[in-house]
Amino acid sequence: MSRRKLSHYEFSAKARNVIEAGKPLYTTVKGKWNELYFNNNNPVVLELACGKGEYTIGLGKVFPDKNFIGMDIKGDRIARGSLAASESNLDNVAFLRAGIQYSDEFFEERELDEIWLIHPDPQVRDRDENKRLTNPKFLEMYSRFLKNKGMFFLKTDSTFLYEYSLETIGASPGFEILEHTDDLYNSTLLAEHHGVKTHYENIFVGKGYSIKYIKARLKY
């Protein structure tokens, strides 16, 4: 492990805004994010596969009256997000280091108001469909965590994942697609993103890729 990564892991181990294995909240926070971490009753928003937390932090700045959780398995990325959130004094932002497939261990039914999925790996090979974060298995899990009429958002540069997700979300018994576009930057829906971009999104756009977006809502 590089010295830089080691320093990131050491930072996360001490950071209050990182929940990871070995810390008390890791096993007790399920169903109690507002009570045990945020100490308020504000809406709770989860960003899956958050990377360095750029979107989680960006939305946290725009919406101080909401609570944001960035979830990712990569400890060095989580550490960068943790540091950036701390430097911006964002008490409404937390990070959870865990695999998304284990989300049931950290979120209770009807605990979340929104779920965001920003530029995930599209997993284009057929044999990797079970890893796509909009496959039916994951969508069913998200539907359990969301509150009544809770929102699900997908933003991607991948035409493949966009079209796949339109199909899976559209066929899902739990979700209904409200709006979608295959060219977000030339759509009236762009305003819903509040100018928040990730590092990789800037790269994608610079290379001429269009950004796709799906907004869905829990039916019940």
What are the angstrom distances between the C-alpha of 36 and each of 9, 16, 17, 48? Answer: 23, 12, 12, 21
Active site residue 121: yes
Q: How many Cβ atoms are within 10 Å of 7's Cβ, its own excluded? A: 12
Catalytic one among 65, 113, 121, 126?
A: 121
Spell out the alpha helix ranges (H) of the chain: 3-14, 25-28, 54-62, 75-87, 136-145, 159-171, 199-206
Q: Give the residues across from 47 on adjacent strands.
A: 70, 116
Beta carbons within 8 Å of 123's beta carbon, 6+ residues apart: 129, 131, 132, 161
How far is residue 153 CA from its own chain's centroid?
Answer: 9
* Token pair of 38 as six digits: 């945020």
Rg of the Cα atoms in the chain: 17
Q: Helices 159-171 & 136-145, crossing angle to 10 degrees?
A: 60
Enumerate the active-site residues.
121
